[in-house]
Amino acid sequence: MKDKVTSIDVARRAGVSQSAVSRVFTPGASASPKTIEKVRKAAEELGYRPNPIARAMITGKSRIIGLVVAYLDNQFYPIALERLSRSLQARGYHVLIFLAENATAEVAPVMEELIAYQVDGIVTASVTMTNDLTNLCEAAGIPVVMFNRGQDDPRLSEVTSDNVAGGRTVANYLVAGGHERIAHIAGLQEASTGRDRARGFVEALADHGRTPVAVVDGRYDRDIASALTRELFGAADRPDAVFVGNDHMALAVMDTLRFELGLSVPDDVSVVGYDDVPIASWAAYDLTTIRQPVNRMVDATVDALLSRIEGDTEPRHILIPGPLIQRGSARKPKGFKT
């Protein structure tokens, strides 16, 4: 069996020190163009491949980031994860993606496994961090940034769209459209995103002297959203508009309204969602929705995480506003300005 090629072999072939070889293969480290050329030529001739695990043992840095996600049914998250992965890879990090149910019993083993991998940082998407999990990561010296989810814990960084403002915009839009009976099928109320969107919506209606005819928890679940739609719209005094806590549910609401209850969208009922996933723009749905600015959210998340990894001890709490995208699923008020 052929002996494994090491960095020492590459250094000898290139006529440089072993530390020079290490710098060439360490993202962000400096080496002269001449050294880089010699080292990469020698490595190619010898068939050398750097060992990130060995480097981690030496440097204490694995250059691995763990991404934990619990809600891939929603199209927003596969898009966000892809962009997070590409952005981190462009900064010289490897990415491990773990799936977990959004419950402490499911998330805890995943976090423990990531710590065992000696990841440099963790991004959680649609996952709630308990105090115990935060303590676990803090004790291991691993920074955590929450993506599209907030937590009442000053130790954690978080990046979200401005969910309260988004909910307010939807309420103002539906009132300006002349709707009288407005309902809200909310997102998961254990999650900050669901609570904040509902809060902004209800507060803005109150500013107009209105209250929603119903606020019900759809739990970010298509089947639950469909069942709630049957209950809300099966009666004679049905709502004439509904704000749905995300597009994943809103598409199910539209299907139920049109194909089960025989109602016209938007002639009988206006529907507004939240996220602006790609399918929302399809002609079959043409969904009016609040756009989550995913690129800006990804950039802010990566910057916040790498800043913590590089020694910044101050957590960041970032809110990024998203625009209302007017399409055909809701009555369009004349001259409405967000």
Distances (CA, A) of 264 to 170, 181, 240, 260: 20, 16, 11, 11
Q: Residue 147 in contact with residue 84, Cβ under 8 Å?
A: yes
Average pLDDT over every residue of 11-34: 86
Q: Is residue 335 part of a domain?
A: no
Residue 102 binned pLDDT confidence (cut-offs 50, 70, 90): low
* pTM (two decimals): 0.85
User: What is the average pLDDT across 257-264?
Assistant: 97
Whether 326 is covered by a domain: the verdict is no
Position 138 pLDDT exceeds 60: yes
Six-digit token string for 166 = 């988004």
Long-range CB pairs of 7-12, under 8 A, 24+ apart, other chains included: 7/48, 7/50, 9/46, 9/48, 10/39, 10/42, 10/43, 10/46, 10/48, 11/39
170, 271: one domain = yes
What are phi and psi for residue 185, nearest 5 degrees?
A: -95, 100
Interval 163-206: pLDDT, tens: 999 999 999 999 999 999 999 999 999 999 999 999 999 999 99
| Total domains present in the chain | 3
198/252 same-domain check: yes
**Averaged pLDDT, 149-158:** 88
Domain that holds residue 38: 7-50
Q: Domain holding 11: CATH number?
A: 1.10.260.40
Confidence check: pLDDT of 58 > 70 = no
Question: Residue 105: which pLDDT band, with cuts at 50, 70 and 90?
Answer: low
pLDDT score for 335: 79
- 229 and 187: one domain? yes
State phi, psi for 203 to the nearest 5 degrees.
-65, -40
Show Cβ contacts of residue 16 under 8 Å, excluding neighbours closer than 6 positions.
Answer: 35, 38, 39
**Whole-angstrom distance, CA of residue 316 vs CA of residue 19:** 35
Shared domain for 141 and 251, answered yes or no, is: no
Task: Convert the pLDDT of each residue in 77-97 to its tens digit.
Answer: 999 999 999 999 999 898 999
User: For residue 103, what pLDDT is reported?
Assistant: 54
Q: What is the Cα–Cα distance from 168 to 149, expressed in whole angstroms?
A: 18
pLDDT beyond 60 at 1? no
Residue whose tokens read 């880089």: 36
Summarize pLDDT for 41-55 with one digit per residue, the tens: 998 998 888 766 566
In a domain, 242, yes or no: yes
In a domain, 107, yes or no: yes
Higher pLDDT residue, 334 or 3? 334
Q: Are residues 184 and 92 in the same domain?
A: no
134 and 117, same domain (yes or no): yes
- Residue 92: the pLDDT is 85
In a domain, 327, yes or no: no
pLDDT band at 318 (very low <50, low <70, confident <90, very high): very high
Domain membership flag for residue 2: no
Residues 18 and 75 placed together within one structural domain of the fold: no
Are 298 and 157 contained in the same domain? yes
Pairing of strands 324-325, 288-291: antiparallel
Domain CATH code at residue 210: 3.40.50.2300
Whole-angstrom Cα distance, residue 193 to residue 170?
15
| Band of pLDDT at residue 127, cut at 50, 70 and 90 | confident
Residue 59 counted as domain residue: no
Encode pLDDT of 232-249 as tens digits: 999 889 999 999 999 999
Give the C-alpha separation, 28 to 73, whole Å.
36
* Domain match, 12 and 115 both: no
Amino acid at 204: A
Are residues 171 and 273 located together in one domain of the fold? yes
At residue 72, the pLDDT reads 84
Exposed/middle/buried for 8, CB within 10 Å: 0-12, 13-18, 19+? exposed
The verdict on 152 and 197 lying in the same domain is no
Residue 66 DSSP symbol: E
* Residue 131's pLDDT band (cuts 50, 70, 90): confident
Residues 185 and 278 in one domain: yes
Position 331 in a domain: no
Strands across the sheet containing 121-125: 94-99, 64-69, 121-125, 144-147, 157-161, 317-320
